[in-house]
Structure 1
Amino acid sequence: MAPTATAPANPIPTPKVVTRAEWKADESIVTDPPTYGTTVKAFFVHHTAGTNDYSCADSAALVRGIEIYHVKSNGWNDIGYNFLVDKCGVVFEGRKGGIDKPVTGAHTYGFNTDNAAIAVLGTYISAGIPTGVQDAVAHVAAYKLGAYGNDPFGKVTLTSGVEGKYHLGEQVVFNRISGHRDAVATECPGDALYAQLATIRAKAATTANLRLTGLTGTLSGTTYYTRSTFTASWTTITPSNLISRFDVVVDGTVVATAAGTARSASVTVPAGTHTVVVRAAHKIGRVNATAAQAFVVDTAAPTFPQGPTLALRAGQVSGTVVPVTVNWRAADNTGVGSVQLTAPISRTFAASGSYGTTTKPSVATAWSMRAQDWAGNTATTSASWIPIFLPETKATRTGTWSTSTGSSYLGGSALTSTAAKSSLTWTVTARSVAFLATRTSTSGQAEIWVDGVKQTTVDLRNSTTDYRRVMWTKSWSSSARHTVKIVVVGTSGRPRVITDGLVYIG
């Protein structure tokens, strides 16, 4: 007989189902009309215990075979299950009478009335069902239970209608979504599928495993740093068609609402320290929320207390190459995420530091940098520097010096002295300066003086001849006028000093 009461409005959307007409049910063998209960209290999950090695294109034929088996071999009026689903997640209408009605099936002995069931085509003892099939089972279960206000995550007490696993008339507590084995002495729905029922219940009634996966910006420790407008992203294993909406809640106030299909939302929040939670409303009515996430909205751009500055460094000089070190320091009220050197080459660095590289002499080269803070705010800076050669011929000489020529020297010549106390003095306006010399196996030592103060003594001896070598450098925080003096020590047995001048950066 037809159900006597109309089910209340169902909060769960009707699942997509292959109808009996579409899978070509043999209605000629179904001789009696369907019977109905008054509600759906529990939903039982089965497997058909057949092969898993089938093509989903053949699923309708498998369902027809089950119908014929249930009617002709079992002697039932129709296929026993209310629904079936294949390994591709395609749901099929089972016993006739209307998928939205409390049709009484023949699926769970002693518990058929006022309950419904679905069977997964295949055997799931050692391997479980794919995610898409879990989603389909969860949807159908929520649809059938939700129509009568029953929570798929809850429990229900049912009375056994036969003498079987439970005594006739015995009251038994079941999960609203249970396995066939919970009611009948059977292995169905298989160990692996049975172990997945907890996940299916969670999907059918909750926004399961809801997790905030990130905010645009940077996570430092346990806190995100973002700009005023950012994107919050989240995940859940519950299928979207069972979720009503997501709310992004900042400091207890909903600041954005997204559809159940969304997994992110754009949010605008004023500067300061905040907490964010993503809240989800399942169509069954339950609300879940992520753990609270601390974040800081930073609207201030970073600064460069020290932009890119160049200093000379050790190495070999040529007419086209000068070894230099780039120095910088960026700062921010929350934290600098990175500093990029964007010209003349591309590199990424920390907030402050130095980087050894080379540059061209006698040419102004722009050194450009871009700092980005943890929130994504940026600042840029640029400075141009020119390394300049100051040849030995521009120095004021004392003592005895001679000229050496050769293509290995800068400009084709160098000054040589073996006389102790002989000196060369240059006056430069510079922020960095370097002394260039040729090293040989018979070279000696030279003193270096700056502004009348001795800085060091350098030894120019080397096992092989080494031209245009930076033997000493000095840098200052700003450019100023300085005198640099080189004095020949007259080292015993190897007094020679060969100088190739200075290089400086103004």
Structure 2
Amino acid sequence: MKRRTWLTLAAVVVGGGGVVTYAVASPSDLGAQGRAKRPVKVYDLTLKGTAGGKRELPRTDTEQFSLVGVSWTGAVKQLDGTAQVRTRGLEGGEWSAWRDLEVNVDPPEDPEAGMRGASEPLWVGPSNGVEAQVVHEDGTTGALPKGLKVNLVDPGVVTAAETQATEPAAFVAEESSPAATPADSTTPADGATATPTDDRTDTSPAPGDPTSPEPTDPTATATPTGSASPSASASASPSPSATTPSAPPSTVPKPPITSRAGWGADESLSPDPSEYNADVKAVFVHHTTGANDYSCADSASLVRGIHAYHTQVSGWNDVGYNFIVDKCGTVFEGRKGGVDLPVLGAHTYGWNRESTGIAVLGEHTSTSASNAALASVARVAAWKLGQYGADPAGTVQLKAGATQKNYLGAAFTAGTTYTFNRISAHRDGFNTECPGNSLYPQLPTIRTWAAGPVQGLKVTSITGAGMSGSTYYTKGAITTRWTATTPAALISTYELLVDGKVAATAAGTAGSANATLAVGSHTVAVRAVHQSGRTTTSAALTVVADTTAPTFTTTPKLALRAGTVNTTAVPVTLTWKAADDKALREVKLLSPTTATFGPTTTTSSRTAKSGTAGTWSMGAYDLAGNYRTSSAAYTPVILQESSATRSGSWTTRSSTSYLGGTSYSSGSKGAALTWTFTGRSASWVVSRATSSGQAYVYVDGVKVSTVDLKSSTTLYRQAIWTKTWTSSAKHTVKIVVVGTSGRPTITTDGLVYIK
């Protein structure tokens, strides 16, 4: 098997202690002087051994980096320990707390020379100092893997010009030797620092990714036993193809995807040709681990850093994931070969031949993925599965490419088919916590969003209409508003349905639509069309279109009432009655003052200015918004006692407490006062005290009442007796002193009437 040997250009000295490492040259290193950019670079620092089997790197100044990890000799060896790092921020100069590195648990099945075991990389942001330690997880002092190094990645700064074309990182020589010398073969005993020579060569992996190559198809050869590692070139059916296939159309729209050029991939780091599967039957969801507090503006840098880490630290030939999604929902092209093609990835050990892999940037063991990230995962999954007519909510039979157990304890035998959800998690196929305990329970949401129909659709309001009970009333023009829990990016259109027919359409990003209804009763609902074509319809609401205005069956009328009278304010009762053919909403007093009343209210206690003509205007409003007004003019008039015709003995009293400043008082039985007026309502105004007596009231010559003026407290200007007629007419009111024993006196202020 021919191997590509990459000749490094120079050794780079970084940090303190004279640690020497080799960085692969990038295209931007060649003739890029003076440009406002910085190429991707990787720096390696050796972890030195200490007593007790511990490996550590004291605080060290370094070149700028943003991604950090730990690697060791032996691609299939597991790091039975805890790796921790702390870093110094470039801007503030402060050291972070210790942070654990998650150890990569996906071993390559066919390790190649130059491959290394490695932790998952951790995004730390721009930094220029690092401290690290690796100890056994259980505290024992056994040997740790050899060649332990801290690996620092500077994702650099990439300009648009740099993404147009790339050059090889160095001269590429063909090497026919089947086994090149491993890169770590120069590493001395534990704790020593490697000192390679300037003519050291690094070898790149053969075509195909070492992270999870598939074993030999058991149906074609003998089933491997024990820990044997089948050849990466053999595969479960169907076999990947080096020939570029055609891109089938999808049943759903393609989401926006940032290309490798868009995030600044250095393609010289992934020189091997892409391989392709026959189709995409399933999607496996991952998380990249690392920090969640990254800025989405740094996502492209983070992807570049992961690419450099996988290729230059682990020795892989490319990113293992087909797609990478950040917390803001931006989708990045991962493994090269064409986003619309069934590119063979290296993301889920044993199941790569029939699937695609989508990774969410961040650690989702204890933190859920954002809705934006979930929506983008759902869109990519639906698009890829839609290219092959697969239902994202369905299940599929996948052929195992390896004999193993998954994280949940389910056992798989190579060559046997097993049922998977079309959208599954990394842990469903392999023994790993990925995509984390918080993202894993979010997979049903991803499946539902990807497959449709739209979830949580409901009408939230109808404006231009009033509501009574469960029925809306409108004059005709309405605006219907709705919400849905499915993200708008997965919704094709909304349709406003009136009586089951489409009255208006709106984009999937919309939340309202307008319509004008004909007079009569209608049903109104909203139908959401998912990008898959599946539809769901909200509950129908009853909306009545009504153009008939309410009526006043009783126009506004004013009548005097009992209460305290002033020369400027007379107590009155306002009465009315309104009705509507559908549903009355409210009645409003519009003048001479304002007030709002419910639909069943017909009276209100008010005051009116005496001696002044006032227009009492009211409006009746129905739930549809139709209204009618009605008005009437009334003038309260105060007749002082001096304007009455007297008989019997009366004396004049003066006091500011009396209406007009004076009053008549009499204790003579039979003494009388008579007022004649033309009006529709009258009230007799008196003073009251413990010594006040009784009086007879005659209306138009007929005795209608006996009024007792006795009161435990002294009161002035009291309208104690009232009378209202249906219409205005001439009337006579006569007051006669009864001469009550022990308290014969009555004191009168006058008479008030309304004309």
Range into which the TM-score falls when normalised by the shorter chain: over 0.9
In structure 2, what residue type is equivalent to 1:38? A
Query: Structure 1 pair 64/499, CA: closer, same or farther in 2 (3 Å)?
Result: same
TM-score between both structures, scaled by the size of structure 1: 0.92
Verify the 8 A CA contact 2:245 2:341 in the aligned structure 1.
no
Say which SS state the counterpart of residue 642 (structure 2) adopts: helix
Correspondence for 2:559: 311
Correspondence for 1:498: 747
Correspondence for 2:248: 7
Query: Structure 1 pair 476/118, CA: closer, same or farther in 2 (3 Å)?
Result: farther
Bigger radius of gyration, 1 or 2? 2
Query: Structure 1 pair 186/433, CA: closer, same or farther in 2 (3 Å)?
Result: farther
Verify the 8 A CA contact 1:303 1:332 in the aligned structure 2.
yes
| Range with bigger deviation, 403-412 or 281-290 | 403-412
CA deviation profile, 1:296-347 (whole Å, cap 9, x unmatched): 2222111121233222223222121122222222211111112222323332
Distance of 2:610 and 2:653 partners within structure 1:
23
Distance of 1:315 and 1:126 partners within structure 2:
72
**1:464 Cα deviation after fit:** 4.3
Correspondence for 2:461: 214
TM-score between both structures, scaled by the size of structure 2: 0.63
**Structure 2 runs not aligned, ≥5 long:** 1-241, 407-411
In structure 2, what residue type is equivalent to 1:121? L
**1:40 Cα deviation after fit:** 2.4
Selected match of 2:710 from 452, 455, 461: 461
Correspondence for 2:363: 123
**1:437 Cα deviation after fit:** 0.9
Correspondence for 2:471: 223
Say which SS state the counterpart of residue 203 (structure 1) adopts: helix
Verify the 8 A CA contact 1:227 1:377 in the aligned structure 2.
yes
Which protein has greater RCO, CA pairs closer than 8 Å, 6+ apart?
Answer: 1
Verify the 8 A CA contact 2:354 2:398 in the aligned structure 1.
no
Aligned runs of 1:6-25 on 2, under 5 Å? 6-8=247-249, 10-25=250-265
Selected match of 2:693 from 420, 435, 444: 444
Aligned runs of 1:16-415 on 2, under 5 Å? 16-164=256-404, 165=406, 166-204=412-450, 205-216=452-463, 217-351=465-599, 352-415=601-664
**1:499 Cα deviation after fit:** 0.9
Query: Structure 1 pair 343/137, CA: closer, same or farther in 2 (3 Å)?
Result: farther
Distance of 1:33 and 1:163 partners within structure 2:
28
Verify the 8 A CA contact 2:246 2:341 in the aligned structure 1.
no
In structure 2, what residue type is equivalent to 1:300? T
Distance of 1:366 and 1:182 partners within structure 2:
81
Distance of 2:314 and 2:700 partners within structure 1:
110
In structure 1, what residue type is equivalent to 2:570? V
Distance of 1:130 and 1:370 partners within structure 2:
52
**1:151 Cα deviation after fit:** 2.5
Distance of 2:698 and 2:378 partners within structure 1:
85
Say which SS state the counterpart of residue 403 (structure 2) adopts: coil
Distance of 1:377 and 1:172 partners within structure 2:
66
Residues matched between the structures, number: 505
Query: Structure 1 pair 394/286, CA: closer, same or farther in 2 (3 Å)?
Result: same
Query: Structure 1 pair 76/481, CA: closer, same or farther in 2 (3 Å)?
Result: farther
Query: Structure 1 pair 62/361, CA: closer, same or farther in 2 (3 Å)?
Result: same
Query: Structure 1 pair 325/196, CA: closer, same or farther in 2 (3 Å)?
Result: farther
**Structure 1 runs not aligned, ≥5 long:** none
Paired-residue identity, % = 53
CA deviation profile, 1:327-382 (whole Å, cap 9, x unmatched): 22221111111222232333221123322232211112222222221222222222
Say which SS state the counterpart of residue 380 (structure 2) adopts: helix
**1:11 Cα deviation after fit:** 4.5
Q: Is 1:430 matched up with 2:671?
A: no
Query: Structure 1 pair 418/90, CA: closer, same or farther in 2 (3 Å)?
Result: same
Distance of 1:213 and 1:455 partners within structure 2:
60
Say which SS state the counterpart of residue 638 (structure 2) adopts: strand
Verify the 8 A CA contact 2:685 2:717 in the aligned structure 1.
yes
Say which SS state the counterpart of residue 18 (structure 1) adopts: coil
In structure 2, what residue type is equivalent to 1:304? F
Distance of 1:341 and 1:381 partners within structure 2:
10
